[in-house]
A and B are shown apart, each in its own frame.
Chain A
Amino acid sequence: MAVETEAEEGGLVFHPLDQFIVKPLFGDGEIHWYTITNVTFWMALTILCVAGLFALGTRGRAIVPSRMQSVAELAYGFVYKMVEDVSGREGLKYFPYIFTLFLFIVFANFLGLIPTSFATTSHIAVTAVLALSVFLTVTILGFVLNGTKFLGLFWVSSAPLALRPVLAIIELISYFVRPVSHSIRLGGNIMAGHAVIKVFAGFAAIATVAPLSVIAIAAIYGLEVLVAFIQAYVFTILTCVYLKDALHPSH
């Protein structure tokens, strides 16, 4: 915890990672798998937001939509078009799963941006489960739908014959790196943004730097709002890309 070394200006203490600590909400016992923690709380808020948007927003089922209904329809149309464009019409069968992933990530990211909140998507455990579920689903789906032809994904038939084994190894490695990069990209981005904001907040303890620090926090916050959406978008679109590979394995 060398980061916490005190600066000579007096009492500058950085705890950039303290915000990610998983704590029980009631009492402070050991954390079992069923313990109600801040993770539970913020994920429950995510569910509430999604349910609020889609259950309350579309309650009217109006032809001319209300504000909330148009937001819900916008999100629906956005992901629907993404799935259709990237993975083709066959991919639309898996639209609910992808939409679920997108909604969870986008709401968890934005809820994590509320000051003093807990960003669930900054945890590698969460993003790894998301990415692994995508990876396993896509791999199993590829083999179920295409049989051994799915292996054609690794055998680049357009390349010269001598190069193909080398390319196959590279493709294989890149295939298995997918869940790693998929999960770390999301978790790392969110964690990095929050940690950077926290470090800037630590500088605010020095009176002379404080205004600059506040401005910097505002700027980084703006960037993080963008990142929160872009990462959800990227996670979703990469899921679509992987799904396309499973549906049409030929290059």
Chain B
Amino acid sequence: MALETTARAGIEPQVLQPIPVQVEGNNAEIEPTGEVAADLGVEAGAHGDGPVTAEVGYDAIDAHGGAEAAGMPQLDFSTFPNQIFWLLVTLFAIYFVVSRIAMPRIGAVLAERQGTVTNDLASAEELKLRAQEAEAAYDKALADARAEANRIADETRASIQADLDAELARADEQIGAKTAESEAAIAEIRAGAMDSVRDVATDTAKAIVAAFGATADDAAIAAAVDQRVKG
């Protein structure tokens, strides 16, 4: 491929632009355009001993390769300064974005989020504790209320019992009074009845004695009746 290298060396890149159009054609049909065509002609002539068509293929293709300045664009050293320059510009720009914008912002956000999460966890813990406290307080209140209710019930029961006792006592008292009254009345009635019995007995005894035709001392009759009634 040394031949194309020499051919390429003589050709300015700008001049080579029209060449690919001619690649498809035969050697005879290539339009001579300035020095390029002259060079191609020279190359073709130099290879004159081989079959013509084969030579044409090579030369046309080689000219096309020359248009790309080198076989691999990666190895075209003329573009290296350009790429390296723009790469450095790009890297500095990205470094600027990363160090001035991305890192502070994301670092701050991550730290803040970490803080928020920690705080939230702490407050959640605190709320849990508070909830436990509240539950304990509720239990205590419930127990207190129950105790209070018991107390109130006991008190009420006691007071009702006292009232009941008092009522019962009063009722008993009244009943006692009534009973005593009744007994007194009965005793009085009985006493009245005794007196009546003695009077009746004395009168009867007197009448009986009179009927027998005897006279009897009133006092003796009374004493005899008393003795009989008592007996």
Contacts and interface: CB of A to CB of B under 8 A. Distances in A.
B208 to A, nearest CB: 134
B204 to A, nearest CB: 128
Nearest to A108: B90
Most buried by B among A32, A33, A77: A33
* Secondary structure of the B contact surface, majority rule: helix
Q: Please indicate which of the listed interface residues B23, B76, B84, B98 has the most CB atoms of chain A within 10 Å of its own CB.
A: B98
Given A31-B79, A54-B102, A97-B95, 19 more contacts: A1-B61, A5-B61, A30-B78, A33-B81, A33-B82, A39-B86, A43-B90, A47-B90, A50-B98, A54-B98, A58-B109, A61-B105, A72-B106, A77-B110, A96-B98, A96-B103, A99-B102, A100-B94, A101-B91
Contact of A73 (B73, B83, B89, B109): B109
Nearest to A32: B82
A33 B85 contact: yes
Interface in B40-76: 57, 61-62, 64-65, 68, 71-76
A184 to B, nearest CB: 10
Nearest to B74: A124
Given A46-B94, A96-B98, A96-B99, A32 B81 contact: yes
Given A33-B85, A125-B84, A76 B106 contact: yes
Interface residues of A, number: 56
A101 B92 CA distance: 10
Interface of A: 1-2, 4-5, 17-18, 20-22, 28-35, 37, 39-40, 43-44, 46-47, 50-51, 54-55, 58, 61-63, 65, 69, 72-73, 76-77, 95-97, 99-101, 103-104, 120, 122-126, 129-130, 187, 191
Given A1-B64, A50-B94, A122 B74 contact: yes
Closest 5 pairs (CB-CB, A-B): A33-B81, A54-B102, A20-B73, A22-B79, A43-B90
A187 B102 contact: no
Contacts, number: 147
B21 interface: no
B94 A126 contact: no
B154 to A, nearest CB: 59
A22 B76 contact: yes
Contacts of A37: 79, 82, 86
Contacts of A20: 72-74
A103 B98 contact: yes
B14 to A, nearest CB: 7
Given A43-B89, A47-B97, A17 B72 contact: yes
B86 A61 contact: no
Given A47-B94, A58-B102, A103-B98, A125 B74 contact: yes
B61 A39 contact: no
Interface of B: 13-14, 17, 23, 57, 61-62, 64-65, 68, 71-76, 78-91, 93-95, 97-99, 101-103, 105-106, 108-110, 112-113, 116
A15 to B, nearest CB: 9
Given A1-B65, A55-B101, A96-B103, A39 B94 contact: no
17 contacts: A18-B68, A21-B76, A22-B73, A22-B83, A33-B82, A33-B85, A39-B82, A43-B86, A51-B97, A61-B109, A62-B109, A96-B95, A100-B94, A101-B91, A104-B90, A124-B74, A129-B84
A103 B112 CA distance: 24
A164 B216 CA distance: 177
Contacts of A33: 81-82, 84-85
B113 A123 contact: no
Nearest to B117: A63
